[in-house]
Amino acid sequence: MTSDAAERDAYPDTASPRRDAAGLGLAALRVGPALMVLVVVLAAGALSPVFFTTRNLGNVLSQTAVIAILALAQLLVIVTRGIDLSVGSTLALSAVVGAMMFGSIGSGPLVVLAMLATGTAVGAVNGALLVWGRLPHPFIMTLAMLSIARGLALWLSGGQPISGMPTVVQQLGGGSIGWFPYSAFLVIGLALLTLLLTRAMVWGRWIFAVGGNPDAARRAAIPVNGVVVSVYVLSGLAAGIAAIVNAGRLNGGSPTFGELAELDAIAAVVIGGASFHGGRGHVGNALVGALMIGVIRNAMNLLDVNAFLQPIVIGVVILLAVELDVVRGRLEERLRILQVVRS
C-alpha cells in the first residue's frame, strides 16, 4: 500500500544496538512462561530417569488434560474481566449425572450428551443470573454456584462414587494411540478451536473489547450481555468436557471430582500472563500454564518429594510467573515510550 510506504518514510528505522538488546530481552520475557516450563521439564528429566519415559509423558499429558480444558475456558472468562469459580463443582455434577445416566440407560452417546448438557446448563445459569439478575460481580455468582453444584452432585449421588462409564467415555479419558493419550488430542483440538474463536472470529474481538472497556463496547453497539453470557456457557461446557475426561480415566463419577480444580485453572491462566483487569490473555500461554502445574506435580511425585510441599511450590511458581510478567510490562512500556520520543 502506498500509505504504508509513506508511513515507513515518515518514521525511518530508529533501531540502535541498545534497543535491539532490549527487544531481545522483551521477546524472551514474552515467552517467559514457556521458557519456565522448558526449564522445569529439563530439570525433571535430569533428576528423574523415569520422567522422559513415554509411559510417564503420557501420564503427564492425561493428568494435565482436565486442568488444560478448564483453563482454556477460564481464559475466555478472565479476558472479559470475569471469573468462574464453579467449574470444579460443575465437573463433579456432570460426572455424577453421566454416571447415573449410564446406570439407568447405558447408551454411550446419551451419557456424553447428558454430561455436556449439564455443564452447559450450569454455565447458562451463571451467565444469565450474572447479567440479567444484575449480580454485582461474577465472583459472587460463581461462588454460589460452586456450592450449589457440589451440593447437587453430593445429593444426587448420596455422597458415594458411582462406578461405570460407557466405552466412549473410558476411551476419551484413559485411551491412547501408542503412548499419546486421546485426552491430549482433545486438548489440542479444543485449543485450536479456542484460537480460531479468539483470533479469527468477530466474537473473539468482542470478548477482548468487552474486557478492555465494557462501557465503550456498549457504545460501540457490541452485544455486551450476550458476550458475557457466552463465555460462562462455554466455561460450563468445558467443565462438562473435562468431566468426560476425568470420569473416563477413573471409569465412574464421583461427587468429589474436581475439588479445587477451579483454582488450578485460574492458576494456569494467571501463570500464562492473562490479566484480571481483562482484555489480555493468550491461548498458548494458558496451555503452558496448565502444563507447568501438571509437570511440577508429576516431577515431585517421581522425585518422592513430600506431598505437603507441592502446594507451596505451585504457589511460588504462580508468584514467579506473574512477577516476570510485571517486569515484561514495565520494560515494554519503557520501550514504547522510547519509540514515541524518537519518532
Partner 1 sequence: MTASNAPALSVRGATKRFGAVVALGGVDIEARRGEVLALLGDNGAGKSTLIKCITGVHRLDSGTVEMDGAPVDAGSPAAARALGIETVYQDLALFDNLDPAANFYAGRELTTPRWLPRGLRLVRRRAMAEATAVVLHRLEVGMADLTTPVGLMSGGQRQAIAVARAAAFATKVVILDEPTAALGVRESRHVLDLILRLRAEGLAIIVVSHAMDHVMEIADRAVVMRRGRTVGELIPRPENKEQIVSLIVGGNG
Cα–Cα distance for residue pair 286/296, rounded to 1 Å: 16
Supply angle C-alpha 208, 209, 212, rounded to 5. Answer: 85
Q: Closer to partner 1 at the Cβ: 306 or 343?
A: 343
Give the one residue of 32, 258, 279, 289 binding partner 1; rule: CB under 8 A: 279
Q: Binding segment for partner 1 among 150-158, 164-172, 211-219, 302-310 (CB under 8 A)?
A: 211-219
Give the one residue of 211, 273, 289, 294 binding partner 1; rule: CB under 8 A: 211
**330: contact with partner 1 by CB under 8 A:** no
Which of 291, 313, 263, 335 has the alpha carbon at shortest distance from 33? Answer: 291
CB of residue 100 to partner 1, shortest distance in Å: 34
Cα–Cα distance for residue pair 31/273, rounded to 1 Å: 10
Residues 6+ apart with CB under 8 A from 254: 92, 95, 96, 157, 160, 161, 162
Give the containing element (helix H, strand E) for 119.
helix 108-132
Residues 211, 217: contact at Cβ < 8 Å?
A: no
Handedness of CA 166, 172, 175, 178 (dihedral sign): positive
Give the one residue of 1, 104, 134, 177 binding partner 1; rule: CB under 8 A: 1
Give the one residue of 215, 304, 306, 308 binding partner 1; rule: CB under 8 A: 215
What is the distance, to the nearest Å, from the Cα of residue 341 to the centroid of all Cα atoms in its chain? 38
Cα–Cα distance for residue pair 59/66, rounded to 1 Å: 12
DSSP tag of 134: T
Per-residue x/- track, 168-207, partner 1 (CB under 8 A): --------------------------------xxxxxxx-
CB of residue 242 to partner 1, shortest distance in Å: 24
Dihedral over alpha carbons 33, 38, 44, 46 (to 10 degrees): -150
**12: contact with partner 1 by CB under 8 A:** no
**7: contact with partner 1 by CB under 8 A:** yes
Give the containing element (helix H, strand E) for 181.
strand 180-181
**252: contact with partner 1 by CB under 8 A:** no
CB of residue 123 to partner 1, shortest distance in Å: 17
Residues 331, 279: contact at Cβ < 8 Å?
A: no
Give the one residue of 54, 188, 219, 319 binding partner 1; rule: CB under 8 A: 219
Total residues interacting with partner 1, rule: CB under 8 A: 40
CB of residue 303 to partner 1, shortest distance in Å: 40
DSSP, collapsed to helix, strand or coil, labels residue 14 as coil
CB of residue 343 to partner 1, shortest distance in Å: 4
**269: contact with partner 1 by CB under 8 A:** no
Q: Binding segment for partner 1 among 17-25, 88-96, 138-146, 335-343 (CB under 8 A)?
A: 335-343
CB of residue 223 to partner 1, shortest distance in Å: 8
Give the one residue of 26, 124, 208, 322 binding partner 1; rule: CB under 8 A: 208
**Long-range contact set of residues 104-107: C-beta below 8 Å, sequence gap at least 24:** 106/166, 107/166
Which of 61, 97, 31, 48 has the alpha carbon at shortest distance from 282? Answer: 31
Q: Closer to partner 1 at the Cβ: 210 or 292?
A: 210
Q: Binding segment for partner 1 among 29-37, 152-160, 208-216, 296-304 (CB under 8 A)?
A: 208-216
CB of residue 316 to partner 1, shortest distance in Å: 28
Q: Closer to partner 1 at the Cβ: 279 or 294?
A: 279
The cell numbers describing 68, all together, are 488444560
Chain residues in the site for partner 1 (CB under 8 A):
1, 3-4, 6-7, 10-11, 200-206, 208-209, 211-213, 215-223, 226, 278-280, 332-333, 336-337, 339-340, 342-343
